[in-house]
Amino acid sequence: MRNIKLFDTNSHKFILLNESEPGEEDGIRSNQYLVMHDDAGVLLDPGGFGVMPRVLSEMLHYLAPSQIKGIFLSHQDPDIVGGLSTWLEVSSCPVYVSRIWMRFLPHYGLKDMSRFIGVPDQGMDWTPAPGLDLRILPAHFLHSEGQINVYDPVSRIIFTGDIGAAMMPMDKDDAFVDDFASHLPFIEGFHRRYMCSNKAIRCWLDTIAGLDIDMIAPQHGPVYRGAAVRDFLDWLRDLQCGIDLMQSGGRFPQQFL
């Protein structure tokens, strides 16, 4: 369990609301975030069904469900969407997801899609409430064909979904990455296998190139801060991954499976 204020002023907060326990997500811990300004907020990747009660409990320290003005889904995986039907019951806000997943989400048993907003491929400016002037940015083919990110210019934090995600061992519980070199073993295999290609990575790096970024907040694992932000982005720029690694027989090296 977390509840760490990554950024906190009198009016604006970016909070790592919860980190699921390893057993809840089949050994993969996931992060759920809250961004708030004054008395309104948005949830980023609210999580699977099993974590919903604790995420709600942590959120109630800050806001009531009626004060949530938007739910953001970085992509379509069950560790993001699995608890959504319950969130739709306790809140009345819209849900933002890449437009390509609008036809996919009803397979989670979501029968009423009237509250869903399909984000265009180029991303969009997102102001769910006064003071929450966020940007939704494309991160396509970086784990998901329709992955999208959120950048908060006030906190200078970018929520990156599975970009930067770490597969941490059970005995490590770091909240932040400060030393990128020591963190590399926990991200390298995942990124080489689950990111589509270096070309897709460079498209994303071009997209975020003009942003002031103090922290990178992924969906899995600790948050990058300080020098680790630039070290991670520099490492990613030259990463060979996905189809870059495929051999003539269409197989990946065994260490990345």
Instruction: Kindly report, residue by residue over 197-212, the tens digit of the pLDDT.
Output: 999 999 999 999 999 9
Sequence spans of domains, the chain = 4-256
Q: How confident is the model at residue 108 (pLDDT cuts 50, 70, 90)?
A: confident
SS (H, E, C) the chain: CCCEEEEECCCEEEEEEEECCHHHHCCCCCEEEEEEECCEEEEECCCCHHHHHHHHHHHCCCCCHHHEEEEECCCCCHHHHCCHHHHHHHCCCCEEEEHHHCCCHHHHCCCCCCCEEEECCCCEEECCCCCCCEEEEECCCECCCCCEEEEECCCCEEEEECCCCCCCCCCCCCCEECCHHHHHHHCHHHHHHHECCHHHHHHHHHHHCCCCCCEEEECCCCEEECHHHHHHHHHHHCCCCHHHCCCCCCCCCHHHC
**Which pLDDT score is estimated for 125?**
97
Tens-digit pLDDT profile for residues 205-254: 999 999 999 999 999 999 999 999 999 999 999 999 999 988 655 666 66
Q: Name which of 8-17, 58-67, 73-82, 225-234 the model is least confident about.
A: 73-82
Q: Name which of 16-20, 32-36, 112-116 the model is least confident about.
A: 16-20
**Which pLDDT score is estimated for 196?**
94
Mean pLDDT of 186-196: 94
Mean pLDDT score of the chain: 90
pLDDT at 180 over 80: yes
Q: Check: pTM over 0.85? Answer yes or no.
A: yes
**Which pLDDT score is estimated for 256?**
57
CATH architecture of residue range(s) 4-256: 4-Layer Sandwich (3.60)
**Which pLDDT score is estimated for 25?**
46
Q: What is the percent of the chain where pLDDT is above 70?
A: 91
